[in-house]
């Protein structure tokens, strides 16, 4: 039986009253969010008024009286408490330890106990097993390896090893969220595996962020499963992350999101630019070939959904839950896969059909990346620990924590979301698959003007599996998201037409 609701402007306040618990949570969030924003650096503005999109003051396009302005999800007491546990000193210690192995090149020594990628692998594995101990067995640490034959940037067969800690979800363990950093390193010559390649920022910073979250989450009980991975082979061609992503895909694991942290530890660029309160988030629009059917790709283009890929909805979600005074950070969404001439491990998960994003510092210093350690014309080259901003890296860790925890404790993404396209109408009618997930309170329709970067309006519709909104599907972008009884909300999913 299909449960349905018709939403009009007059019914919004009545619906809000009918969901008293949710409204109370929202009010608390609003108050908290306002107090945090008063104490923090300037944050991105969500344009919510229709007049923001027109040149005529008398115009009202699109109508803004359908639903209410979307208030970003603010971190609750538990998230704030976990953020306070993030320790810049621990992050520094991890990065300096990784640097101490001399080189972590994928082709470097794997048996020397003090130098090379093998020593780094063994230290990370031992350290993560120590971090997992307080979980009482809920967090398992594995070293997942395979032999990579000769290939691009691989001059001889080599063992590629990922160190992976998996924290079992308490009520929805089949839903999985992954965070990674790569622990291999390189210098100017990508095939030089004997000279020092400190890799402090690239990517000691990402590994340190991942390990710090692993430590903090080990004592918690997220609803869904969390995976913390240190992957190898990134500099040689994303080998470790490809192995990880394809292993999940081959086992039909439901990875709903992957967060890649790579070059996320420095706040000063090569021209002296300083922006210690912004982290870039790269999110691809068009999906990699083969991850969507040709028919679905064609439909996505017809409905204008090319800016609403799963990765971009994940990016909007991270911005909503993590750009606030509690993290002390802006989350600057970049609408592209990655920087020019560069790549990262999120690409491996995207190619496997999973939503994946990349966090990278705002202003890079290329003298400190992929460079031989040297002084030339008075300039220090090399990816040295002295160039890492540990307080900045800790704030980036807070962004990741807020994103990961919110995802893992919200309901899963809504499935089979569609919009009625059988007749011409200025109303929009949506359908989705009902869920019996534990802790599910209901659903919301979110919308934004087609030119807006973030969701601007929200319409609560209750625990139903269909809803009609008095706003034309031709004029705005819609999404459906689930709401938990704990107040956490899932990333939105755009509807595809049914006819």
Same structural domain for residues 98 and 44?
no
pLDDT digit string, tens, across residues 204-229: 999 999 999 999 999 999 999 999 99
> Rounded CA gap, 231 and 184, in Å?
8
Q: Is residue 144 predicted with pLDDT exceeding 50?
A: yes
Same structural domain for residues 54 and 163?
no
Task: State how far the alpha carbon of 429 is from the alpha carbons of 392, 425, 442, 470, 496, in Å.
Answer: 45, 9, 17, 9, 11
Backbone angles phi, psi at 374, to 5 degrees: -170, 165
In a domain, 74, yes or no: no
In a domain, 469, yes or no: yes
Q: According to the model, what pLDDT value does residue 63 have?
A: 78
Q: Is residue 3 predicted with pLDDT exceeding 60?
A: no
Q: Is residue 20 predicted with pLDDT exceeding 70?
A: no
How many domains, the chain? 2
Q: Is residue 17 predicted with pLDDT exceeding 50?
A: no
Same structural domain for residues 232 and 140?
yes
402 three-state secondary structure: helix
Domain final residue, candidates 349, 379, 409: 409
Q: What percent of the chain shows pLDDT beyond 70?
A: 89
Same structural domain for residues 258 and 355?
yes
pLDDT digit string, tens, across residues 25-74: 333 333 333 333 434 555 444 444 444 545 677 777 777 789 999 999 99
Query: H/E element holding 265?
Result: none
pLDDT, mean of residues 257-284: 97
> Rounded CA gap, 201 and 37, in Å?
29
> Rounded CA gap, 154 and 293, in Å?
33
11 three-state secondary structure: helix
Q: According to the model, what pLDDT value does residue 1 have?
A: 45
DSSP 197-241: B--IIIIIHHHHHHHHHHHHHTTS--SEEEEEEEE--HHHHSHHH
Q: Is residue 187 predicted with pLDDT exceeding 90?
A: yes
First to last CA, the chain: 20
Q: According to the model, what pLDDT value does residue 490 have?
A: 99
Same structural domain for residues 417 and 398?
no
Domain final residue, candidates 392, 409, 426: 409
Q: What percent of the chain shows pLDDT beyond 90?
A: 85
Task: State how far the alpha carbon of 362 is from the alpha carbons of 14, 88, 281, 332, in Å.
Answer: 44, 19, 9, 8
Considering only CA atoms, which of 314, 151, 164 is closest in space to residue 238? 151
Same structural domain for residues 45 and 110?
no
pLDDT digit string, tens, across residues 295-332: 999 999 999 999 999 999 999 999 999 999 999 999 99
Query: Which of 231-240, 282-291, 385-394, 477-486 has the weakest average pLDDT?
Result: 282-291
In a domain, 329, yes or no: yes
Residues 6+ apart with CB under 8 A from 118: 108, 109, 110, 111, 112
Q: According to the model, what pLDDT value does residue 30 have?
A: 36
Same structural domain for residues 420 and 370?
no
Query: Which of 36-45, 124-133, 194-203 has the weakest average pLDDT?
Result: 36-45
Same structural domain for residues 154 and 51?
no
In a domain, 477, yes or no: yes
Domain final residue, candidates 389, 409, 429: 409
Q: According to the model, what pLDDT value does residue 379 have?
A: 96
Q: Token digits for 342?
A: 């560069």
Same structural domain for residues 331 and 345?
yes
**CATH number for the domain harbouring residue 467:** 2.60.40.10
DSSP 422-470: SS--SSEEEE------TTEEEEEEEEEETT-SS--EEEEEES-SEEEES
pLDDT, mean of residues 274-298: 94
Q: According to the model, what pLDDT value does residue 58 have?
A: 74
pLDDT digit string, tens, across residues 87-107: 999 999 999 999 999 999 999
Q: According to the model, what pLDDT value does residue 5 have?
A: 53
**CATH number for the domain harbouring residue 220:** 3.40.630.10
Averaged pLDDT score across all residues of the chain: 91
Query: H/E element holding 182?
Result: strand 172-182
CB atoms within 10 A of CB 31: 11
The model's pTM: 0.89
Same structural domain for residues 359 and 323?
yes
Residue 9 — very low, low, confident or very high, per pLDDT cuts 50/70/90?
Answer: very low
pLDDT, mean of residues 402-423: 98
Q: According to the model, what pLDDT value does residue 55 have?
A: 60
Q: According to the model, what pLDDT value does residue 59 have?
A: 75
Q: According to the model, what pLDDT value does residue 64 have?
A: 79
Backbone angles phi, psi at 80, to 5 degrees: -60, -40
Domain span at residue 376? Answer: 79-409
CB atoms within 10 A of CB 297: 16
Same structural domain for residues 242 and 346?
yes
Same structural domain for residues 196 and 272?
yes
């Amino acid at each position: 039986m299909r449960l349905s609701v018709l939403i009009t402007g007059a019914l919004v306040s009545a619906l809000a009253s009918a969901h008293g618990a949710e409204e109370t949570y929202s009010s608390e969030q609003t108050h908290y969010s306002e107090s945090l924003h008063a104490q923090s650096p300037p944050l991105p503005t969500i344009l919510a008024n229709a007049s923001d999109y027109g040149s005529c003051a008398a115009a009202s396009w699109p109508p803004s009286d359908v639903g209410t302005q979307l208030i970003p999800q603010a971190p609750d007491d538990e998230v704030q408490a976990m953020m306070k546990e993030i320790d810049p000193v621990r992050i520094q210690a991890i990065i300096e330890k990784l640097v101490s192995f001399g080189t972590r090149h994928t082709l470097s020594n794997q048996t020397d106990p003090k130098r090379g990628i093998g020593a780094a692998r063994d230290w990370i594995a031992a350290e993560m097993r120590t971090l997992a101990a307080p979980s009482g067995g809920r967090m398992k640490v594995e070293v997942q390896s395979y032999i990579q034959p000769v290939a691009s940037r691989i001059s001889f067969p080599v063992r590629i090893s990922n160190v992976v800690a998996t924290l079992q979800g308490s009520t929805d363990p089949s839903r999985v969220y992954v965070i990674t950093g790569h622990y291999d390193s390189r210098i100017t010559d990508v095939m030089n595996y004997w000279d020092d390649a400190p890799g402090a920022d690239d990517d000691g910073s990402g590994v340190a962020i991942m390990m710090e979250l692993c430590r903090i989450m080990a004592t918690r009980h997220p609803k869904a499963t969390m995976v913390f991975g240190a992957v190898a082979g990134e500099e040689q061609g994303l080998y470790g992350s490809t192995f990880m992503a394809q292993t999940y895909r081959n086992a039909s694991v439901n990875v709903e999101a992957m967060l890649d942290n790579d070059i996320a530890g420095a706040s000063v660029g090569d021209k002296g630019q300083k922006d210690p309160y912004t982290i870039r988030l790269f999110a691809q629009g068009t999906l990699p070939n083969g991850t969507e059917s040709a028919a679905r790709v064609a439909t996505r283009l017809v409905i204008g959904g090319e800016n609403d890929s799963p990765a971009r909805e994940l990016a909007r979600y991270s911005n909503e839950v993590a750009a606030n005074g509690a993290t002390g950070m802006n989350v600057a969404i970049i609408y592209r896969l990655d920087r020019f001439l560069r790549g990262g491990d999120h690409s491996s998960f995207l190619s496997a059909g999973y939503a994946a994003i990349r966090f990278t510092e705002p202003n890079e210093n290329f003298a400190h990346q992929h460079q031989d350690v040297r002084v030339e014309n008075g300039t220090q080259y090399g990816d040295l620990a002295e160039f890492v901003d540990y307080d900045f890296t800790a704030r980036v860790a807070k962004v990741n924590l807020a994103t990961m925890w919110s995802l893992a404790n919200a309901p899963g993404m809504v499935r089979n979301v569609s919009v009625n396209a059988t007749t011409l109408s200025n109303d929009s009618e949506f359908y989705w698959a009902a869920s019996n997930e534990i802790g599910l309170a209901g659903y919301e329709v979110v919308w934004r003007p087609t030119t807006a970067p973030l969701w601007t309006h929200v319409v609560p519709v209750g625990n139903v599996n269909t809803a009609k909104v008095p706003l034309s599907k031709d004029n705005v972008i819609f999404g459906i998201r689930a709401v938990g009884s704990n107040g956490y909300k899932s990333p939105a999913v755009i509807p595809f037409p049914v006819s």
